[in-house]
Chains A and B, each alone.
Chain A
Amino acid sequence: MNTTTAVAPRRRRRLELNASLVVGIALTIGFLVIAIVSFFWLPSNPNIPNIKNRMLPPGTVDHWLGTDGLGRDIIAQLMVGARTSILVGAGGATISLILGTIAGLVAAAYGKIADETISRGADIMLSIPGMVTALVLAATMGSGALTTIFALTAFFTPSFTRVIRSAAMSVLQEDFITSAKLYGRGKLFILARHVIPNIAGVMIVQFTLYFAAGILTEAGLSYLGVGVTRPSISWGMMLNEAQQTVGISSPLAMWPGLAIVIVVLGLNLLGDGLRDVLDPKLKRRS
């Protein structure tokens, strides 16, 4: 009991809120809620054309943000688009996080040869322009959510690997690791029991930032027509359709862009806020 009371004040300090964290959490929760609601309720089917209702202006009853060139409701499309952003952005970030953590830990803990191989490999992958590779990937694998997740994984894994490696290396130099080794603990045990909990903060922050980067990249690929395709809906795809069918000056080219900015900003603020809370040493840097 005594230990818990001793820990309590420190806990309170760690949960200290900052402006980016609060705004970030609010925007991100709003985004997640909209995506979840879209599974249970949509104003209308976002994929079925309704020519009678085409190009309704914003403010129309039943279509509050209007309809597109084929009469499909904009709000419904934006809601389903939120789903895609989460699926692809979080999907790509999660897989890269897992692969990057494994590779980073191996590089940090399993000797110089493993480290050199993995680090140089990551450097090489980082120097390949992702967008160009994604174009090629989409051409060979066909476009779609899975290809997009695959492309994101290819871009993000090397960065994750680098970050996890350097975080793990600094933990591995701590005295308690030496004592765990002297106690006879194996490498895997030390990594799982001591290193991972100590780099969890870094992992969470990186995940948030790459979730945001994933949404931006997905939107770009779908805008180019090599990302997500109908019946899935992506904000990038909506922008492409708006530009192709009704021209860029229509409000149709505004809403999806605004949605992307708000969501990406929310996740980036959340990531920065979490970094300040989880790692006070880094507070003043980026």
Chain B
Amino acid sequence: MAIYALRKLAFFLGAVFVASLAIFILIRAAGGNVAAIVLGKDATADAINALAHAYGLDQPLPVQYFNWITNMLQGDLGQSFRTKESVAELVTARLSVSVPLALSGLLLGLIIAIPVGTYAARNVGKPSGAVLALISQIGIAVPVFWAGILLSVLFGVKLGWLPTGGWIDWRESPIGAIRSLVLPVLSLGLIMAAVLIRYVRSAVLDVMNQDFVRTARAVGMTRTQALLSVGLRNAALPIVTIVGLQIAELIGGTVIIEMVFSLPGLSRMILANVAAREVIVVQSTVMLIIIFVIFVNFVVDLLYGVLDPRVRNAA
């Protein structure tokens, strides 16, 4: 197990390194003279040089990269050129929107997908199974932002039950905050569920044909008992992996849904800062998101190794 964990840790660190390099190059390659763009066309050459110097933008790119990484490792994510706010503050302020949205979306997706997918697998070849497979197929084809639009037309405009967009802060009114999150979470969760149902269904189908399920049936359990006692536990492994892989998708969905419902989350902040050429803010925020995703995958890999000895002993 120790060797397995070390290998995964090495991969985690390698991935973070490669990703940081990629993000840095991507953002800086086409950046032009950042200080000049930030200050606008009326700025004097002195002012531009002063800003560039203050933020180390006049140093060679490899040095800038090195400084950025060492500062990040010490917990300093940099600050905005214009407002001087630190990136850490900017990000934390947005997390109270983005994190509940993404987590509840994923949770809702799983709550729907696990029973429905299991049911679809149990009824494969029957009309009910086929109908569920078709519904999930259609759900996969629905863009998450269109699901958001449809839901807000139905529940926001036609029925008037919930706000069609906008945000009320938790401190102002927790109920208001929850109300503004219901439709976004519903959109995200339903679309996640459509994708996850397919995976759950095929994972359960695989498990149902395994010898241990047959053995459980042979000692007198019913199909449902066998599925619940040994089947689901084994199907949990591939499902955990898929959830890990879906984290990147989940963040993509969250980005779009925040725009549909004009929620002041991380993605709105990134878009605004991209437009304002706040390279340090964008670079550090994007890097934080990527580290988070890679970290989740790292944890999933570790869990997988704990749960299944075959995985950690392979190769």
Contacts and interface: CB of A to CB of B under 8 A. Distances in A.
Interface of A: 120-121, 123-124, 126-133, 135-141, 212, 216, 219-220, 223-224, 226, 236, 239, 243, 247-249, 253, 257, 260-262, 264-265, 268-269, 272, 284-286
A223 B18 contact: no
Nearest to A235: B143
B26 interface: yes
Interface stretch (B54-62, B174-182, B248-256, B304-312): B248-256
15 contacts: A127-B19, A127-B294, A129-B251, A132-B251, A135-B255, A136-B26, A139-B274, A139-B282, A220-B145, A243-B149, A248-B157, A260-B141, A264-B140, A265-B141, A268-B140
Contacts of B286: 132-133, 136
B252 A260 contact: no
B255 to A, nearest CB: 5
Given A220-B145, A249-B157, A286 B198 contact: yes
Nearest to B142: A261
A158 to B, nearest CB: 11
Nearest to B28: A140
Query: For chain A, what secondary structure do more than half of its interface residues adopt (helix, strand, loop), or is it mixed?
Result: helix
Interface of B: 11, 14-15, 18-19, 22-23, 26-27, 29-31, 124, 137-138, 140-146, 149-150, 152-153, 157-158, 164, 198-199, 201-202, 205-206, 245, 247-249, 251-253, 255-256, 259-260, 267, 270-271, 274-275, 282, 286, 289-290, 293-294, 297
A127 B300 CA distance: 12
A145 B203 CA distance: 37
A129 B137 contact: no
A112 B290 CA distance: 28
Contacts of B145: 219-220, 223, 236, 239
Contacts of A130: 248, 252
B149 A253 contact: yes
A247 to B, nearest CB: 8
B26 A120 contact: no
Contacts of A247: 157
A140 B251 CA distance: 21
A90 B270 CA distance: 29
